[in-house]
Amino acid sequence: MAEEGEQVLLEKARETLGLDLSDATLVYTGVGAINIIRSLQNLDREAELYNIGYAGSANFDLGTWVEVTEVRLNHPNVTYPEPELKLSVLSRQTSAIRAVCYSNCDFVLASDYRDCVFDMELAYIAALGFKHLHSFKYVSDNLSLHKYHELTNGVE
C-alpha cells in the first residue's frame, strides 16, 4: 500500500473480494517510483506480493474493484513501444473485473484510454521483477483529483 490511509482498503478487499491477507506483512511504500524502489528493493523476488490501492479510471464506476492482469507505463506522448508487464491473477474468480493498469508519475486527469485504471506505483513494483505479484485496485475517481481527495479523506 502506498499510504497508511489506504489501509481501509484491506477490509474492503476482505469483504468484497474474499481475500484473506491476515498472515500478510503490510508494507507502506509511499507514492511514486523512488519510494517503491526504496521500500521494496530488498524483498525476495519469489515472495507472494499483493498490491492493493486506489486508482482512477476514465469509465469504471467509483467503487469498482479491478484485478490487474497487466501493467504499462502511461506516457501518452511517447511513440516507441514501452514494456507491458504481466501480473499473476488469482485462479479463482472474485467480484473484481480484470483490466490493465497504466502507471504514471503524475495524477492522470484526462485520457482516451477506456476499460483500464491509472495509478502511480504498480509499473515500478512490477519492474522490480517480483514473480508472484497480484494487484487489486479500487476505483476512487474518474480522473478527478477532487473526487480522489473526497474519497480518501473519508467522504464517500
Q: Categorize the per-residue pLDDT at 154 as very low, low, confident or very high, splitting at 50, 70 and 90.
A: low
Q: How far apart are CA 30 and CA 5, in angstroms?
A: 11
20: cell is 484473506
Structurally, what CATH architecture does the domain formed by 4-152 represent? 3-Layer(aba) Sandwich (3.40)
Percent of the chain scored above 90 by pLDDT? 62
| Res 2 pLDDT > 70 | no
| Res 155 pLDDT > 50 | no
**What's the whole-model pTM score?**
0.90
Percent of the chain scored above 70 by pLDDT? 97
Q: Categorize the per-residue pLDDT at 10 as very low, low, confident or very high, splitting at 50, 70 and 90.
A: confident
Kindly list the domain boundaries of the chain, sorted by start residue.
Answer: 4-152
